[in-house]
Amino acid sequence: MVWPELGVMASTECKTNSIRRLLVANRAEIAERVFTSARSLGIETVALYSDPDANLRYVRSADQSIHLAGSTPAETYLDVNKVLEAAVRSGCDGIHPGYGFLSENPKLAQGCLDLGITFVGPSVESIEIMGSKLASKALALRHGVPTLDSLDVTEITSNQAGEFAKTIGYPVLVKASAGGGGRGMRIVESPEQLDQSIESAKREALNAFGDATVFIEKYVQSPRHIEIQVVADQHGRAIHLCERECSIQRRHQKIVEESPSPFFDKHPELRLLMGQAAVDLAQAVSYVGLGTVEFVVDAQGNFYFLEMNTRLQVEHPVTEAVLGIDLVRIQIEVAQNRHLGDLIGDIDQSGHAIEVRLYAENPQLDWRPESGTLEKFLVPGQTEFQIGGAIRVDSGFEDNSVVSTYYDSMLAKVIAYSDTRQNARKILRKTLIDSAIFGVHTNRDLLIGILSNSDFVDGNTDTGFLVRNQPNDLIEASLEEKWLEISAVAGALVLQARERENTRAFVNTPSGWRNSRSTTQFVDFSHNEEVVRVEYFNSSDGFRIANLSQLGLESVRVISSTSSQAILEVDGRTHRFQVLALDTQVFIHSTLGLVCFGRLPRFPAGQDEISPGSLVSPMPGVVVRIEVLEGDRVEGGTVMMALEAMKMEHKIEAPITGTVKEILVSVGSQVEASQLLVVVEEEQ
């Protein structure tokens, strides 16, 4: 790193490591989270923001903000030079990297060192060693921490890989050495899939982390994922701060985390054993700051070291809740050279905390990430932590925030804390039920489904949970019968009120008035593959639903309907619905659930001119690979290109057999949903 024009910042504060002004090299909720702790220490705060993030709340909540021109992570939060320059420009003497982005990139830590800026995190060496899964495993092995056998396959032939896989036994896991979050990771069930999986994992790892190194290790079936929070100061003291269980994962991404682990009820000795192993490992690298040592634990209680994350974790709030401490504050204080002993007293794990990650995604459509304007974002009941039950919401979003396609689609972390696991679970479930999130589809109902699932209730959680329990089933199990139909009725009546409110003709005439009625009003909603039609009419006694039996309902009484709300009495129960109607989507929230209906047009849409054989992008994303050339002959089903969106790779396949006539994008193109990508001319 060369910064000739900047020189070296020399200040007396450097020596004491006292931070006066802290740059958070991150965005959204975690930036806000760090600002809060910094403020509590009297530290000034500086935010960074990319083009799409300009209007997010965290930017406003900082004392200063610096714009990073560009939209993609690579142009902005991942650009070490830009981040360091911003720190210097804003006169910061400390950088907190948050999680993700540059948090585990040694170049940032090194750059801080060079510039005399305090990096709130471990040393460059610690990051480097722990950043390599292979090196860290070797280290763990040397210090007596159990690990899974593994083989680095970057430089060896596929034969060797195959033999190794055979020795440890299928299934095996192919895994990127760098990074995390499940990217560059493949479960391989049989020898035939091995080569292909290694290749695709390498490719994904290279794209994601700039490092194609992958390795093979034994795949533990349905393990629990339990991690130990550690913290170490600059004076050689390291302690562990108990465990978090993060077994509920979708595609290797955690979505529900809790502390204590329900598994430790039966195996209390593990807290001590794994805690000690984690501390040993931290001390082996003279670790400083917050870190998390991740383990897989099998059903018998055997645990294996997985990796160490050298940063603050997304799920840190559950630890904060059960220990009653501010981890970020401790992290900053440790970076300021303070003694752990002065920062943390006795560790007293009490009560139970559960966190869920609320994502803008559709679990029923292959976890498709969603983007758009968050018209309404309300997670109610946020309170100060207190014994007896409390809710914490860490989010960077508010009403009218835009969820962009460029970054992780996590909207919020919702954390419930109470005296018992069951109470925490119930509080969290109720909070989610009461949450109204309009504008983008979320995994809210899935989270409710998980929290209601009997296995989860009993603490029988492992990483196979979402494979055994399909999202559809979880969502449906948590929903009341006919909730969709009842919501549709509410939606139809709100749309009706909205039509009447917006009309410019016969504005005062009763809705849908007829002097000779031949038919009813209707609305067609779509929900996944299903179409729900509501037929209704306005009589002198108010609205009547004409197709009750078709909807499977006995009686509906419309108590009121406005352009944003409806109150219905359905089969003797009164429900209140909040509705947000957009042109093509209608969001309906009630205690029955939150539904996003599509509005089916009444008339065939004016066809936008698209030639047959045209392929459009299924979602916003970036073109990462193009595997055909113009003029190529393709079979139906041939993979022609791949899009990456929200950490997932989506393949674009030829719909028909024919010739590639035109390719309209190139690798690296950012594409919008429904953008034309490629045209295939059908073979005659």
Answer yes or no whether residue 521 interacts with another protein by CB under 8 A.
Answer: yes
Q: Which of 510, 542, 612, 668 binds another protein (CB under 8 A)?
A: 510
Segment contacting another protein by CB under 8 A, of 209-217, 304-312, 439-447, 516-524: 516-524
- Token duo for residue 477: 């199990």
Q: For residue 243, what are the contacts with CB-CB under 8 A and spacing of at least 6?
A: 226, 227, 228, 229, 259, 260, 261, 264, 270, 271, 274, 275
How far is CA 241 from its chain centroid? 24
By CB under 8 A, residue 509 contacts another protein: yes
Q: How far apart are CA 666 and CA 662, in angstroms?
A: 11
CB atoms within 10 A of CB 199: 15
The owner of tokens 């504005």 is: 507
- Span interacting with another protein, options 197-205, 250-258, 375-383, 492-500, rule CB under 8 A: 492-500
Cα 647 to Cα 258: distance, rounded to the nearest angstrom: 24
Stated as kind and residue range, the H or E segment containing 560 is: strand 556-561
Q: Is 499 in the site for another protein (CB under 8 A)?
A: yes
Contact call for residue 631 and another protein (CB under 8 A): no
Q: Which is nearer to another protein, 46 or 523 (CB)?
A: 523
By beta-carbon proximity to another protein, the closer residue of 4 and 604 is 604
Counting Cβ atoms within 10 Å, is residue 661 exposed (0-12), middle (13-18) or buried (19+)?
Answer: middle
Residues contacting another protein: total by CB under 8 A: 27
Q: Site for another protein (CB under 8 A): which residue of 508, 549, 666, 684?
A: 508
The residue within the footprint of another protein, chosen from 1, 191, 398, 513 (CB under 8 A), is 513
Supply the minimum distance, in Å, between the C-beta of residue 595 and another protein: 20
- Within a 10 A sphere around the Cβ of 528, how many other Cβ atoms? 11
Nearest distance in Å: CB 612, another protein? 16
Which residue, 40 or 562, is less far from another protein as judged by CB? 562
Nearest partner of 647 among 629, 622, 670, judged by Cα: 622
Instruction: Give phi and psi for 381, each to the nearest 5.
Output: 85, 15
Give the Å distances, CA to CA, from 144 to 139, 147, 154, 281: 9, 9, 26, 9
**157, 159, 540, 666: which one binds another protein (CB under 8 A):** 540
Decide: is 519 part of the binding site for another protein (CB under 8 A): yes
Q: Which stretch binds another protein (CB under 8 A): 144-152, 283-291, 494-502, 574-582?
A: 494-502
Q: How far is the CB of 57 from another protein (least distance, A)?
A: 36
**Neighbour tally for 366: CB within 10 Å:** 12
Residue 495 near another protein by CB under 8 A: yes
Q: Which is nearer to another protein, 155 or 608 (CB)?
A: 608
Which tokens hold the place of 154?
């970057």
CB-based contact 404:371 (threshold 8 Å):
yes
The candidate with the shortest Cα–Cα distance to 674, out of 652, 647, 646, 656, is: 652
The closest of 424, 419, 494, 503 to 457, measured between CA atoms, is 424
Binding segment toward another protein, per CB under 8 A, in 70-78, 475-483, 501-509, 616-624: 501-509
Using rule CB under 8 A, residue 516 touches another protein: yes
User: Residues 571 to 610: which contact another protein by CB under 8 A?
Assistant: 602-604, 606
| Among residues 386, 504, 608, 684, the one that binds another protein under rule CB under 8 A | 504
Q: Which is nearer to another protein, 342 or 504 (CB)?
A: 504
User: How far apart (Å, rounded) are the C-alpha atoms in residues 67 and 45?
Assistant: 14
Binding range to another protein, per CB under 8 A, among 330-338, 403-411, 422-430, 509-517: 509-517
Number of neighbours of residue 198 by Cβ within 10 angstroms = 22
Binding residue for another protein (CB under 8 A) from 139, 403, 523, 677? Answer: 523
Residue 102 CA, distance from chain mean position: 17
Select 64 or 526, whichever has its Cβ closest to another protein. Answer: 526
**Residue 500 near another protein by CB under 8 A:** yes
**Which residue of 169, 507, 608, 631 would you call a contact of another protein, by CB under 8 A?**
507
> Looking at beta carbons only, is 425 or 500 nearer to another protein?
500
Please state, in angstroms and rounded to a whole number, the distance separating the CA atoms of residues 560 and 665: 50
**Alpha-carbon dihedral 190, 192, 198, 204, rounded to 10 degrees:** -90
The yes or no reply on residue 300 touching another protein (CB under 8 A) is no
- Segment near another protein (CB under 8 A); pick from 97-105, 282-290, 444-452, 491-499: 491-499
Binding residues (CB under 8 A) for another protein: these are 495-496, 499-500, 503-516, 518-519, 521, 523, 540, 602-604, 606
